[in-house]
A and B are shown apart, each in its own frame.
Chain A
Amino acid sequence: MVFGVIEDISLVGYIIRTFIVGIIAFLVGRYVLKRTIAQLTAYDFTLVWILGALTVAPLLDGKVSFTYIIVPLLTLFFWHYIFSVISLKNRTLSLFFNGKPVILIDDGKIIRKNLKKHFINVDLLMSELRLKNILDISEVKYVVLEPNGHFSTIKKESHRPVTPIDLNLSVKPVDLPLVIINDGKLFEENLMKSGLDKAWLMNNLAMYNVNDITNIYLATIDSFKKLYVAKKH
């Protein structure tokens, strides 16, 4: 007796239910959109908080059958999907569902009206600024309250770190190194993408005193053909 509405569920019944709930929880986590987990907006937030409570319900009470959680789960996924699609298609509705970012400090001036609207007092504002490594409020140019409740801060120009542009330096461009060996396995397509072949790799690996690929845990290559090698021990 595991499924259906059960008055007195046995211990074994609960254990079997736990396994099934575990599988459902995994599937929920697998198919929920990434944006939900990041809690980007109010409707993501609503979904993510309710999912956990919903999934474990059959374990709290024998009378909660699996139909009673699967239908609401599918309902929530359905509405969340609809909201996401509508938000992509229509900007006006998207701004309603997602919420508009609110400017709290504009060009160094505190906008009191917006602070009041979202019930944020000065202590809270200062706390959030400190969390962003800003101790002196006069260093801030912009503070924006994002729809997910996080604060974005932009410092005044003169309080920003010096960058290579300021000093007229030229630096190497940003690039993502490619993984060519992972746990002794060679990824030849990544090697080809860098315009190299296996002979070149073996030659270069010899410099690290390695002659067998299976002895390497990780090797990456950047766009300047510079190798990084980590051996197994």
Chain B
Amino acid sequence: MTKSLSLIYIHKIMVYWLNYSVRGGFMNLHTIFFQGETLNILELFIRASILYFMLFGSTKVMGFRQPGILTSYNFLMAAGISHIAASRMVNPKARLVDAIPIIIVYTLINLFISYLYFKAPSVVSQKPIILIKNGKLIKKNLSKAKLTLDNLISILRQKDVSNLENVGFLIAESTGDFSVAVNNNNLPITKIDMAMEPSQDTLSQILIYKGKVDEKILNRNSLNYDWIDKELKSNNIDNIKAVYLGLLTTDKKLYISP
């Protein structure tokens, strides 16, 4: 109730402020969109804000693979679109109306290429290149990837591999990174090697956040409030409101941070 009321107030104030600024001559919507050379500071602020929100929206639409720069084209797209937005923010000659369709079309192209990666990977994606196999260099692929021997040794060092003979595979991925597989007998001993029967676990989940319980997670793990109360009591906490973070750990215990 109070939340929606305050939202109405904020809206009213913003509309009033906008009207006031436009009529009072502090800013002019026409100038913001169509002219760059006569902008005052307030109008510059609004132009930059609009561009920033557009860029934020476009990054959101492109999905998580964009911030992760999963493929080389993500890199070019990021550099390109941010440069477009930046030059539109600062260049007096640039008009905001031009920038808006450019950003939208650019985002759509990016989405289309991402879609191609999923639908027709053979057309767009590069194949991973195997550089070392079973401790032996593959010269042909090395020249294909345009890597010198010094590059290669440097990559191995960065991957904590000191001896080339121990490398089972070294692969140049299409993402521009390198993956190394060390021969099995140089890897840490796993539980399966020792024939151990490990306990099963799951991902840890945020169950309580600032005193609020996430009911979905509670139900999914077939737990109830009695169980939470019991866990709280064993940590000497009376009120759930005092819990800043309650993490359901991998072995189904409650980690509590007040």
Contact = CB atoms under 8 A, between A and B. Distances in A.
Contact of B64 (A58, A64, A74, A147): A147
Contact of B89 (A41, A72, A91): A72
Given A57-B91, A127-B128, A158 B190 contact: yes
B75 to A, nearest CB: 10
Nearest to B58: A46
Interface string A209-229: 000000000000000000000
Contact of A72 (B44, B121, B169, B174): B44
B209 A91 contact: yes
B190 to A, nearest CB: 5
Interface stretch (A10-18, A130-138, A187-195, A199-207): A130-138
Contacts of A54: 86, 89-90
Given A123-B121, A130-B171, A131-B175, A53 B83 contact: yes
Contact of B191 (A68, A71, A145, A166): A166
A181 to B, nearest CB: 30
A42 B70 contact: no
A74 B69 CA distance: 27
Interface string B86-124: 110111110000000000000000000011011001000
A61 interface: yes
B177 interface: yes
A124 interface: yes
A164 B82 CA distance: 49
Interface stretch (B17-25, B132-140, B141-149, B193-201): B193-201
A69 B64 contact: no
B126 to A, nearest CB: 10
A179 interface: no
Contact of A135 (B66, B82, B181): B181
Given A42-B60, A166-B194, A157 B200 contact: yes
A99 B68 CA distance: 13
Given A50-B86, A64-B90, A68-B92, A119 B115 contact: yes
Interface string A142-168: 101111111100100111111000100
A123 B86 contact: no
A133 B179 contact: yes
B198 A158 contact: yes
A61 B198 contact: no
A106 to B, nearest CB: 9
Interface string B163-191: 00000010101110111110000001111
B65 A120 contact: yes
A157 B199 CA distance: 7
Contacts of B86: 50, 53-54, 57, 72
Interface of A: 5, 39, 41-46, 49-50, 53-54, 57-58, 60-61, 63-65, 67-69, 71-72, 74-76, 79, 91, 99, 102-103, 107, 115-121, 123-124, 127-128, 130-131, 133, 135, 142, 144-151, 154, 157-162, 166
12 contacts: A5-B37, A42-B66, A67-B44, A71-B41, A72-B45, A72-B89, A117-B63, A118-B64, A121-B125, A133-B179, A159-B190, A166-B196
Given A61-B91, A72-B90, 13 more contacts: A45-B66, A50-B85, A64-B91, A67-B41, A72-B48, A75-B49, A128-B70, A130-B171, A131-B177, A135-B181, A157-B201, A158-B192, A166-B198
Interface of B: 37, 41, 44-45, 47-49, 52-53, 55-56, 59-60, 63-71, 78-79, 82-83, 85-87, 89-93, 114-115, 117-118, 121, 125, 128, 169, 171, 173-175, 177-181, 188-194, 196, 198-203, 209-210, 212
Q: 4 shortest A-B CB distances, which residue pairs?
A: A149-B68, A53-B86, A157-B198, A130-B179
